[in-house]
Amino acid sequence: MNNISLSYLVKLALKKLWFLLLAAAVFGVCTFCYCNFLTKPVYKAYGSLLVTNGALISNSTSSAYQSSSSKIAGTDIVASLNLADTIKDILNTPDIFKDLSEATGGKYSYRELMSSSTVARRSDTTLFIDISFSTGSRQDSVELVNTFLELAPAYISKSLPDSNSSITTTADAAVKTYPRTAFSTLTAALIGAVVAFVIVFIVDSTDHALKGDKDFTENFSIPLLGTVPDFAETQMYSKGGYGNGSK
């Protein structure tokens, strides 16, 4: 058995390079075909809301805004940040998804809409709430996000009359999130090459036969004085067993 070293592994890989490339190609092509012809794509659209408490909006539009800006920064913004989590929870309740289902013609049930949506704060230090919907249609994903954004302000006001919310980003496109064809194909090709190399390594490691002078010198630090010929083959040649058609 060959000593396992980096040079040995590299030589083994180069020796069986054709097999590794073939395995990588087979795995990659199969994965590409699966992603493009056998899977249902998923498209996600995004939108966002800005939510605040009522005092922040009214103060910012009043004539006394300049003199009270420190109070706004110290109290109203903090209150709005605390309110954002409550508004996020309100937007995750079933009733708004029931309204959304009706507004979009009942194509999706409210349970399907809830499971395909994400309503979350962008971070703990911002007043933005991001909304996304994932469906099998680009158009449906965009429509669901924009309709949800239209319904959200009035829905929030029912529970929190003093709050204020406004649409900051509407959805104009949906991105494909599944399957990730290019990434999956490259990953499968790499896995195929690795699997093929493992097979080659196992086969080579369990093969203890010496296949010639070079194989002997690579495995043993003993001088090679000579080789013994195959007498059976030599005898067949001497009797004319090859080349003249005799038996």
Task: Give me the helices (H) in the chain, please.
Answer: 6-15, 17-33, 54-61, 69-71, 77-90, 94-103, 110-115, 138-159, 181-206, 213-219, 231-238
pLDDT classification of 61: cutoffs 50, 70, 90? very low
**Poorest-pLDDT segment among 28-42, 111-125, 228-242:** 228-242
Q: 228 pLDDT exceeds 80?
A: no
Structure token pair of residue 143? 């429509």
The Cα 228–Cα 108 span in angstroms is 81
Q: Specify the DSSP class assigned to residue 168.
A: E
Lowest mean pLDDT among 55-59, 89-93, 168-172: 55-59
What's the whole-model pTM score? 0.72
CA contacts within 13 A on the Cβ side of 90: 20
Cβ 147 vs Cβ 182: under 8 Å: no
pLDDT in tens, 192-227: 999 999 999 998 888 666 666 666 666 666 676 666
In the block, tokens 């495995």 appear at 219
pLDDT of 73 above 60: no
**Strand (E) or helix (H) holding 175:** strand 174-178
The per-residue pLDDT for range 134-152, each reduced to its tens digit, is: 999 999 999 999 999 999 9
What would the mean pLDDT of 16-44 be, rounded to a whole number?
96
Write down the mean pLDDT value for the chain.
83
| Count of CA atoms in the C-beta half-sphere (13 A) of 106 | 0
Q: Which of 64-68, 198-202, 237-241 has the lowest mean pLDDT?
A: 64-68
